[in-house]
């Protein structure tokens, strides 16, 4: 798949609905994204593939090999939330699709923006930050060894958890963060800043390597400022003064925790999108989980999944120098904002709209001739 020049042929994008509320929010996101793509002149082929508990029941695997093989022929895909806490690792075929896909396709960057949205209740104003999380190693047992588990049960009462930190992973996630900060600075006409979040004061070798790599990469971006902060202090400043942050770059576990906290600053996990990307592929995946307590009730908020697909379109626009993909992302984001501005909100945001009602409101604002 060449990255030179605008594309004319269709993008092939996989659709993996996942578990819990996934089969409710993913089809909404895909339907609206397809409408936005067509309005922007972007040709997309959507390919639905089995994954999760439904796939396990039918095929004996939460991530069937046929799905993996099909994804190799896709430019990217949409993954719904998975109930991997219900997966029994003692059973064959019960692997976590999210972590496995990140590792198999080397989706090393997890970009998780948190910004205020129109008419969404929040304790803070003017929040506009991004957590950039290293995505392939760290304390995650399903990602940092080739086979088996990175947790060792020494005795029934003693567990040792292993963490992997490599120079290659640290350097490339830092590079991703500085490139993002530079793009954001140009769009906002203000200086960019990267904050490296770490615990090098106690994890001297692992986080020390991460911090050293961030500083080395910073030397190549004189137009972007770098500062650093301990992870516990970053959590404090997020609730004390979130406007101080632009791009936060950090290791896997810290990024997972801090990005959920950042979502709370702007109203709900239901509005928190994310993109997992590498050099060749990208995966749209909302930050939130599968919410089994509301699955099937028709009130799940699809905003995060919709905005995650918009991020996937933005990635396609950058990778393939394709203005139509960038325009499709813009249209989708603005339609979501317009629906929220009109007061259409799901219960997690203090409203009463169902998933279908919110989808109809966004669709109306994507229709030809609509005023966003």
Q: Give the model's pLDDT for residue 367.
A: 79
Q: Give the model's pLDDT for residue 90.
A: 79
344 pLDDT higher than 60: yes
Domain borders along the chain are 7-107+272-372, 123-265
- CATH second-level architecture of 7-107+272-372? 3-Layer(aba) Sandwich (3.40)
Q: Give the model's pLDDT for residue 139.
A: 82
300 pLDDT higher than 50: yes
Mean pLDDT of 259-285: 96
122 pLDDT higher than 80: yes
Give every CB contact of residue 341 below 8 A, 6+ residues apart in sequence. Answer: 118, 119
305 pLDDT higher than 80: yes
Which DSSP symbol is given to 138?
B
Tabulate helix, strand, coil % of the chain (nearest 5).
Answer: 45, 15, 40
Cα(126)–Cα(148) distance, rounded to whole angstroms? 44
9 pLDDT higher than 70: no
CB 66 within 8 A of CB 33: no
Cα(276)–Cα(212) distance, rounded to whole angstroms? 24
CB 134 within 8 A of CB 173: yes
Domain at 123-265, CATH from 1.25.40.10, 3.40.718.10, 3.50.50.60, 3.40.50.1820: 3.40.718.10
Q: Give the model's pLDDT for residue 6.
A: 47
CB 76 within 8 A of CB 47: no
The better pLDDT of the pair 191, 1 is held by 191
What is the per-residue pLDDT across 155-209, written as a single tens digit (0 to 9) for each?
899 998 888 899 999 999 999 999 999 999 999 889 999 999 999 999 999 999 9
Cα(188)–Cα(171) distance, rounded to whole angstroms? 26
Q: Give the model's pLDDT for residue 1.
A: 44
Distances (CA, A) of 182 to 95, 178, 318, 336: 37, 6, 14, 26
Residues 275, 276, 282, 286, Cα dihedral to 10° = -40
Cα(276)–Cα(134) distance, rounded to whole angstroms? 10
Matching fold, domains 7-107+272-372 and 123-265: yes
Closest CA to 347 of 121, 49, 43, 166: 121
Mean pLDDT of 234-261: 96
Cα(225)–Cα(80) distance, rounded to whole angstroms? 35
- Quote the Cα angle for 35-40-328, to 5°: 75
Cα(212)–Cα(199) distance, rounded to whole angstroms? 12
H helical segments located in the chain:
22-39, 52-59, 65-72, 97-104, 167-188, 206-218, 231-240, 252-265, 303-319, 323-341, 355-366
Closest CA to 37 of 4, 72, 75, 67: 75
370 pLDDT higher than 70: no
Provide Rg for the chain, Cα atoms.
Answer: 20
Catalytic residues: 140, 199, 232, 256, 260
Q: Give the model's pLDDT for residue 2.
A: 41
Which DSSP symbol is given to 154?
E
Cα(193)–Cα(93) distance, rounded to whole angstroms? 43
């Amino acid at each position: 798949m060449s990255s030179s020049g605008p594309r004319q042929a269709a993008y092939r994008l996989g659709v993996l609905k996942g578990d819990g509320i996934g089969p409710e929010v993913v089809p909404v996101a895909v339907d609206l994204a397809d409408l936005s793509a067509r309005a922007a002149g972007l040709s997309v082929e959507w390919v639905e593939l089995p994954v999760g508990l439904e796939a396990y029941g039918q095929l004996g695997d939460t991530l069937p090999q046929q799905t993996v093989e099909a994804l190799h022929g896709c430019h990217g895909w949409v993954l719904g939330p998975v109930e991997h806490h219900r997966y029994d690792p003692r059973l064959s075929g019960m692997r976590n699709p999210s972590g496995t896909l990140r590792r198999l396709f080397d989706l090393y960057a997890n970009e998780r923006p948190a910004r205020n949205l129109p008419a969404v209740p929040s304790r803070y104003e003017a929040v506009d930050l991004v957590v950039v999380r290293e995505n392939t190693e760290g304390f995650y047992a399903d990602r940092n060894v080739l086979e088996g588990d990175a947790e060792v049960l020494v005795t029934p009462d003693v567990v040792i958890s292993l963490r992997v930190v490599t120079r290659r992973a640290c350097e490339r996630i830092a590079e991703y963060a500085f490139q993002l900060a530079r793009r954001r600075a140009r769009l906002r006409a203000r200086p960019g800043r990267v904050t490296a979040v770490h615990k090098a004061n106690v994890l001297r070798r692992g986080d020390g390597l991460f911090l050293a790599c961030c500083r080395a990469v910073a030397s190549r971006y004189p137009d972007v400022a770098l500062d650093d902060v301990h992870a516990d202090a970053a959590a404090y400043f997020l609730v004390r003064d979130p406007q101080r942050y632009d791009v936060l770059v950090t290791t896997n576990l810290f990024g997972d925790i801090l990005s959920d906290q950042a979502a709370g600053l702007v109203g709900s996990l239901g509005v928190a999108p994310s993109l997992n990307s590498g050099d060749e592929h990208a995966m749209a995946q909302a930050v939130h989980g599968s919410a089994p307590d509301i699955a099937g009730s028709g009130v799940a908020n699809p905003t995060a999944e919709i905005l995650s697909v918009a991020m996937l379109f933005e990635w396609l626009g950058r990778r393939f120098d394709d203005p139509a993909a960038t325009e499709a992302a813009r249209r989708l984001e603005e339609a979501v904002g317009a629906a929220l501005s009109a007061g259409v909100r799901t219960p997690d945001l203090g409203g009463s709209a169902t998933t279908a009602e919110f989808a109809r409101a966004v669709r109306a604002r994507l229709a030809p001739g609509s005023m966003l």
